[in-house]
């Protein structure tokens, strides 16, 4: 029976490193994804399900308002950016419709404006604990608006203040004001309590946002994977993510709260207190629930707790409800709500690259290039130039390995039946010619933070949402579907193939064909392009434009290095080059020495065990 040819140490290490990178990338891409049980896709969210109760007190009059059954009335305001509806139920926000953006509806984005407040929810309401220890939600109370006008239009710098009020007892009132502007996505909310001591025995109330943000995108799973709640405390961001299906996530934070927020892929809602209280309290609750099409959504509730000191007290907040546009969010101090990427939970390694390098570069390019797809192409070229030292180091390492490949093949043939000797002789060749076994993989690993930051920026960059490129690529923020498979691939959870992903897979195959010369790694020429084609089919088109261009540029660079360069490396050249034993090579050498010592010790042990056999024979049986 013919024995299988052993794989040399470098091939094994390379295969392991590539497997780790690919596996890590797939895990990172699918972080927080869970298989949704189709039998529970109609599950209703039950966050803060306590029904609003009547407020009872022994000192209150008999006509004290309870949960109101009165007909709901609205004030409608249209600005340059938003259509707003304020409701008498709790004196709260019933609708917040963004005029310049469309949501995914009936297989298209066209014609349906983004409406960020979920149906039947009323936001920016207040809750508190009443005299009987029951939770009181003012959305169950019927406020009244001042004045008779119910429709307003604001332009430019116009502003308008709407006042809603409810009288709980003579002299005891809750007054809410909303100040809106013609050219912003934010509004100011004022809360005035008058003589509410009998109604707030615990002396606090919560300014709340209970219904999360309504999902807007084609892929609910993708949108859920970017949805979180956030609390900024003294500039430090705390994230809360409902990763387990139908299991509520809760959180509480205490300190100088800058804001509480919840975001989806492209939109954000934030509660920003006007005055920073060093002892403020914030509460977050979220849940992941099923959605149609075997998808799921996430909804987060926010509550900012305010202390009531008695008498008449007024507190102010700013509500931002709009798109994740960096400059706009920065104006309100909430730009950290944008996802700039994390690497296994570590933000400081990745997020600054996306926030301070990649996003400014892309926005700068768009000043001169109106088509975002072309801007990404140019950005790919710039990134290739910036990463040139990494790629050159990788290619030089591959050239060295290719030069010594004939020697490695001879060693493999000579020691095909002795794996330890094969590894030792291979390492001797690497040491003699100054080759780092991980030299081709380390540059790739060093680029991972950059690639992750790029993924985050292009995956949440508001400007490319619904941006057309050319041909079949009509939206750079979603996959460019070319074929529908009709079923979902288990590992990658995709049912459609992307045209750009297919092109990138072909380009990667060409690159692998040019790169891999070791027969033991021949299968990687086919495996990697196929894996990446499927994996990238679920990526936004803008990201695939970048990777496809980057891969093509890599092929051109490789052609230049391997075909057109006159400086061909020979074995003599490698011998003359200065040698330096890197950290990885040193560890490999030490491992080889330990293995050799263990082998030698094992041989000696076997020899010593054979010797006593004769000594144990009875004297009568020994030959004289």
Q: Which pLDDT score is estimated for 64?
A: 38
Residues near 170 by beta carbon (within 8 Å), at least 6 away in sequence: 61
Structure tokens at 438: 């991980």
pLDDT for 427 beyond 50: yes
Instruction: Give the containing element (helix H, strand E) for 422.
Output: helix 419-432
pLDDT for 384 beyond 90: no
Q: Which pLDDT score is estimated for 38?
A: 33
What's the mean pLDDT in 172-186? 95
Q: Which of 163-172, 340-349, 445-454, 462-471 has the lowest mean pLDDT?
A: 340-349
Question: How many whole angstroms separate alpha carbon 84 and alpha carbon 100?
Answer: 14
**Tens-digit pLDDT profile for residues 563-585:** 666 566 666 666 666 555 555 55
**Cα separations in angstroms, 376 against 28, 228, 361, 435, 532:** 23, 28, 10, 36, 20
- Between 520 and 298, the more confident residue is 298
Structure tokens at 599: 């082998």
pLDDT for 36 beyond 60: no
What's the mean pLDDT in 591-616? 54
What's the mean pLDDT in 292-314? 90
Instruction: Give the containing element (helix H, strand E) for 167.
Output: strand 159-169
Closest residue by Cα to residue 336 from 283, 245, 268 = 268
pLDDT bracket for residue 194 (50, 70, 90): very high
What's the mean pLDDT in 285-292? 86
Question: How many whole angstroms separate alpha carbon 557 and alpha carbon 392?
Answer: 9
Q: Which pLDDT score is estimated for 42?
A: 35
Question: Nearest 5°: phi and psi at 563?
Answer: -105, -40
Structure tokens at 205: 């109330």
- Between 369 and 54, the more confident residue is 369
Question: How many whole angstroms separate alpha carbon 356 and alpha carbon 364?
Answer: 12
Q: Which pLDDT score is estimated for 579?
A: 55
The residue count for the chain: 624
Instruction: Give the containing element (helix H, strand E) for 14.
Output: helix 9-29
Closest residue by Cα to residue 270 from 260, 279, 280 = 260
Q: Best-predicted range by mean pLDDT among 114-123, 412-421, 481-490? A: 114-123
Question: How many whole angstroms separate alpha carbon 554 and alpha carbon 251?
Answer: 46
Q: Which pLDDT score is estimated for 477?
A: 85
Q: Which pLDDT score is estimated for 488?
A: 74
Instruction: Give the containing element (helix H, strand E) for 313.
Output: strand 312-323
Structure tokens at 83: 């259509």
What's the mean pLDDT in 72-90? 95
Structure tokens at 256: 């100088």
Q: Which residues of 16-25 are buried (b: 16+ CB within 10 A; e: fewer)?
A: ebbeeeeeeb
pLDDT for 243 beyond 80: yes
Q: State whether residue 314 is helix, strand or coil.
A: strand
Q: Which of 37-41, 134-138, 317-321, 511-515 has the lowest mean pLDDT?
A: 37-41
Question: Which DSSP letter does residue 295 get?
Answer: E
pLDDT for 63 beyond 90: no
Question: How many whole angstroms separate alpha carbon 158 and alpha carbon 150?
Answer: 17
Q: Which pLDDT score is estimated for 521?
A: 67
Q: Is the dihedral of CA 200, 203, 207, 208 positive or negative?
A: negative
101 forms bridges with which residues in the sheet?
none
Packing angle, helices 448-460 and 9-29, rounded to 10: 20
**DSSP states of 605-624:** HHHHHHTHHHHTS-GGGS--
Question: Nearest 5°: phi and psi at 471?
Answer: 55, -125
Domain ranges across the chain: 51-338
pLDDT bracket for residue 112 (50, 70, 90): confident
**Tens-digit pLDDT profile for residues 88-98:** 999 999 999 99
Q: Best-predicted range by mean pLDDT among 32-41, 112-121, 384-393? A: 112-121
Q: Which pLDDT score is estimated for 409?
A: 78
- Between 329 and 42, the more confident residue is 329
Q: Which pLDDT score is estimated for 423?
A: 77
Choices 2.70.98.90, 1.10.10.10, 3.30.70.270, 3.40.640.10: CATH for 51-338 = 2.70.98.90
3-state secondary structure 75-133: EEEECCCEEEEEECECCEEEEEEEEEEECCECCECCCCEEECCCCCCCECEEEEECCCC
C-beta separation of 286 from 211 below 8 A: no
Question: How many whole angstroms separate alpha carbon 280 and alpha carbon 316?
Answer: 14
- Considering the chain, what percentage of its residues have pLDDT values greater than 90? 39
Q: Which of 41-50, 184-193, 490-499, 541-550 has the lowest mean pLDDT?
A: 41-50
C-beta separation of 205 from 168 below 8 A: no
pLDDT for 33 beyond 50: no
pLDDT for 234 beyond 50: yes
Question: How many whole angstroms separate alpha carbon 367 and alpha carbon 356?
Answer: 17
Q: Which pLDDT score is estimated for 7?
A: 42
Q: Which of 73-87, 228-242, 316-330, 574-588 has the lowest mean pLDDT?
A: 574-588
Q: Which pLDDT score is estimated for 57?
A: 31
Q: Which pLDDT score is estimated for 96?
A: 96
Q: Which pLDDT score is estimated for 211?
A: 86
pLDDT for 205 beyond 90: yes
What's the mean pLDDT in 130-151? 92
pLDDT bracket for residue 560 (50, 70, 90): confident
Q: Which pLDDT score is estimated for 163?
A: 96
Give the count of beta carbons closer than 10 Å to the beta carbon of residue 160: 16
Q: Which pLDDT score is estimated for 284?
A: 95
Q: What is the mean pLDDT of the chain?
A: 79
pLDDT for 431 beyond 50: yes
Q: State whether residue 262 is helix, strand or coil.
A: strand
Q: Which pLDDT score is estimated for 286?
A: 93
């Amino acid at each position: 029976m013919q024995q299988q040819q052993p794989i040399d140490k470098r091939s094994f290490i390379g295969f392991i490193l590539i497997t780790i990178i690919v596996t890590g990338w797939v895990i990172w891409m699918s972080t927080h994804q869970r298989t949704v049980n189709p039998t529970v896709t109609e599950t209703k969210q039950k966050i803060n399900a306590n029904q609003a109760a009547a407020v009872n007190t022994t000192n209150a009059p008999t006509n004290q308002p309870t949960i109101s059954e009165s007909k709901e009335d609205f004030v409608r305001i249209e600005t340059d950016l938003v259509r707003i509806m304020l409701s008498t139920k709790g004196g709260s926000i019933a609708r917040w419709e963004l005029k310049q953006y469309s949501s995914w509806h009936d297989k298209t984005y066209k014609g349906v404006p983004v409406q960020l407040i979920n149906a039947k929810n009323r936001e920016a309401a207040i809750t508190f604990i009443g005299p009987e220890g029951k939770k009181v939600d003012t959305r169950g109370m019927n406020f009244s608006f001042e004045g008779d006008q119910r429709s307003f239009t604001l332009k430019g710098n116009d502003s308008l203040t709407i006042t809603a009020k409810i009288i709980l007892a003579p002299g005891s009132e809750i007054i809410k004001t909303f100040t809106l502007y013609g050219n912003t996505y934010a509004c100011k909310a004022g809360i005035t309590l008058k003589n509410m001591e009998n109604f707030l025995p615990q002396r606090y109330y919560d300014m709340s946002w209970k219904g999360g943000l309504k999902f807007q995108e084609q892929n609910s799973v993708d949108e859920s994977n970017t949805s979180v709640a956030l609390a900024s405390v003294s500039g430090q961001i705390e994230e809360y993510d409902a990763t387990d299906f139908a299991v509520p996530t809760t959180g509480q934070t205490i300190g100088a709260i800058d804001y509480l927020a919840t975001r989806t892929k492209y939109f954000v809602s934030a509660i920003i207190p006007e005055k920073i209280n060093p002892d403020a309290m914030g509460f977050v609750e979220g849940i992941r629930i099923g959605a149609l099409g075997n998808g799921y959504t996430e909804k987060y509730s926010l509550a900012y707790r305010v202390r009531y000191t008695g008498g008449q007290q007024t507190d102010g907040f700013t509500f931002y409800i709009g798109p994740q546009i960096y400059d706009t969010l920065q104006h309100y101090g909430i730009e950290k709500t944008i996802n700039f990427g994390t690497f296994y939970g570590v933000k400081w390694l990745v997020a600054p690259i996306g926030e301070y390098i990649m996003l400014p570069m892309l926005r700068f390019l768009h000043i001169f290039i109106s088509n975002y797809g072309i801007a990404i192409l140019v950005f790919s070229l710039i990134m290739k130039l910036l990463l040139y030292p990494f790629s050159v180091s990788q290619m030089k390492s591959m050239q060295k390995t290719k030069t010594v490949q004939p020697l490695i093949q001879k060693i493999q043939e000579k020691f095909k039946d002795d794996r330890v000797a094969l590894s030792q002789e291979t390492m001797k060749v690497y040491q003699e010619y100054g080759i780092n076994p991980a030299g081709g993989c380390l540059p790739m690993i060093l680029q991972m933070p950059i690639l992750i930051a790029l993924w985050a920026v292009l995956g949440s960059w508001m400007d490319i949402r619904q941006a057309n490129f050319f041909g079949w690529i009509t939206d750079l923020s979603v996959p460019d579907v070319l074929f529908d498979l009709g079923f979902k691939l288990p590992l990658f959870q995709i049912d459609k193939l992307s045209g750009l992903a297919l092109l990138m897979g072909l380009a990667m195959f060409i690159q692998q064909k040019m790169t891999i010369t070791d027969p033991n790694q021949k299968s990687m020429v086919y495996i990697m392009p196929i894996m990446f084609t499927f994996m990238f089919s679920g990526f936004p088109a803008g990201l695939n434009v970048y990777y496809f261009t980057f891969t093509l540029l890599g092929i051109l660079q490789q052609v230049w290095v391997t075909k057109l360069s006159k400086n061909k490396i020979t074995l003599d050249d490698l011998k003359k080059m200065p040698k330096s034993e890197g950290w990885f090579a040193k560890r490999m050498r030490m491992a080889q020495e330990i293995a050799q010592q263990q082998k030698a010790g094992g041989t000696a042990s076997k020899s010593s065990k054979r010797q006593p056999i004769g000594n144990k024979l009875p004297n009568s049986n020994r030959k004289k």
